[in-house]
Structure 1
Amino acid sequence: MTRGDSTELAAALRQWRERLTPADVGLPAGPRRRTPGLRREEVARLAGVSVDYVVRLEQDRGPHPSSSVLGALARALRLSAAETGHLFDLAGVAVPGPGRVNDVVRPSVLRLLDRMQDLPAMLVDARTDLLAWNALADALLGDISAVPRERRNLLRMRFGPGGDEHHGPVDEHGDRGRLDRSSVAGARAALARYPDDAALRGLVDELLRSSESFAALWAERPVEDRRVDRKAYDVAGIGRITLDCDALEVPDDDQTLIVYSAAPGSPDAEKLDLLRVVGLQKV
């Protein structure tokens, strides 16, 4: 086997897909399955690529996958760190090194996320790319899996086209501005840590061009580091739900596990209970 072996890559992708069950990745089992493991459609949905793309990769007739696509496939297939490195080697792509935002997720973090069934939770990297999430986060934010992979970014969802309308949580007082400022402060801090990360620089430049509010806040050079907050979301069929938002650091990876909760017995806790029922039926 040599570095950049597309035939071996195709075989490895099929084997990794077939060893997983829907329960392993938080998906319903669905109707009777003719083949073992996940369906290609499920892998494609989790990775944010087309089904045809997965089919072509597994049949050794696919395009040359980029680093970001390989990272998404590694997360979808629950690969270990060693397996992720092997995946990049088979594709002939260098594993992201120092100075670049780490978007490779530890399997132990994915297992932790899988165990969080009662609270909405999601994992983001320093670019605020959505790396993983559970079913309740899907119900709270909308169908994340249906969002194109390149748009699964909290900054882009907030300040990009349509962000104000679809992905604009406010604080507990109904103020959007404070959360906007906090988001821009986080982006400034991330760019200071990763000045050579081309994807992060490209995201900032894109938003500076396309969003007047982002550009105005960026010019103010806000500095802030909030790890605890309260955020309100308007959810169809539920109404406005205000939740405690805790940002938990993943050591060494510069990733953040965001968990939402409500005080027991509160009206928002009742809405969260309703979200588990109504929201998950729609996802």
Structure 2
Amino acid sequence: MSGFLRSRRERLRPEDVGLPPGARRQIQGLRREEVALLAGISVDYYIRMEQGRGPHPSEQVLTALGDALRLTGDEHDYLRRLAGQAPIHVAHDVPETVLRLLERLDHVPAMVIDSCYDVLAWNRMMVALIGDLSSVPAHRRNRLRRLFDPANRTTANRLDLARRCVADLRASGRYPRDPAIRHLVDSLAAESQEFATLWAEREVEVQHTITKRTVHPVVGPLELDCEILTIPAHDHRLLLYTAAPHTPTHRALTHLHATC
């Protein structure tokens, strides 16, 4: 929590929160004293929190800090998780009801991922779109690793997707308490300077809809809208790839459906 508080304090200017800038300011962002004033807590209490020495803050204090630091809703949820306010629920098996749903989504490429971005299940249209994942070793089915793979030359907006997915991973609030997430972050940071840089920026944003631009070996360029739906009571998400009617991508998906 200490690093996150510091990063959010340093990104704000006094004028962003209604404070005078002052003369001869030698630090980046707000001073600790200014954050404490805005949040209505003591300076010593805030300093101890930012240094990782303080007690677990109450919900009231976390709300006040979120307001003082101008946190987004996702960032505020992330701060509460860091403070131990939200439990971590782990589920590994894809429910049978979800598997049946994948089968019924006959015209829509769809897959299920877990909190580590590992692909757990997919339908025939997803095979037509990205290939048969059953022929790929399980440890290589990770979509985040795919984004940072130097060999990935088909995703046209790869950097934008990478940035958003890294922010989404951090927003889960599972790092560093979840060993699987910690291993994923550590290994990606060691393998990819690009990932290490994005992770160090501490951006936090849950992703609900993203656009992916890619090139398919058969039907060519695609612009896909991806809806990310949470599966209730499980630590999984359902990803659905669609395109607006009468667009080249929609026609391409119709062609792929005819071949699968």
Q: TM-score when scaled to structure 2?
A: 0.62
Shift of 1:232: 1.6
Shift of 1:161: 5.6
Amino acid at match of 2:169: A
Residue number among 155, 162, 175 corresponding to 1:169 in the alignment: 155
Residue number among 175, 178, 181 corresponding to 2:160 in the alignment: 178
* Counterpart check, 1:104 vs 2:93: yes
Residue 227 of structure 2 aligns with which residue?
246
Shift of 1:254: 2.5
Residue number among 231, 238, 249 corresponding to 2:212 in the alignment: 231
Identity value in percent: 43
Contact 1:160–1:207 (CA under 8 A) maintained in structure 2 = no
* Counterpart check, 1:202 vs 2:202: no
Contact 2:125–2:257 (CA under 8 A) maintained in structure 1 = yes
Shift of 1:239: 0.3
Residue number among 214, 237, 247 corresponding to 1:266 in the alignment: 247
State how far apart, in whole Å, the 2-side matches of 1:160 and 1:233 are: 15
Unaligned runs of 5+ in 1: 1-97
State how far apart, in whole Å, the 2-side matches of 1:125 and 1:196 are: 16
State how far apart, in whole Å, the 2-side matches of 1:109 and 1:134 are: 11
What's the secondary structure of 1:246's corresponding residue?
A: strand
Q: Between Structure 1 and Structure 2, how many residues are aligned?
A: 174
Residue 154 of structure 1 aligns with which residue?
143
Q: TM-score when scaled to structure 1?
A: 0.58
State how far apart, in whole Å, the 1-side matches of 2:175 and 2:234 are: 13
Unaligned runs of 5+ in 2: 1-86
Amino acid at match of 1:242: E
State how far apart, in whole Å, the 2-side matches of 1:211 and 1:227 are: 25
Shift of 1:226: 2.3
Amino acid at match of 1:203: L
Residue 45 of structure 1 aligns with which residue?
none
Mark the structure with the bigger radius of gyration: 2
Residue 189 of structure 1 aligns with which residue?
171
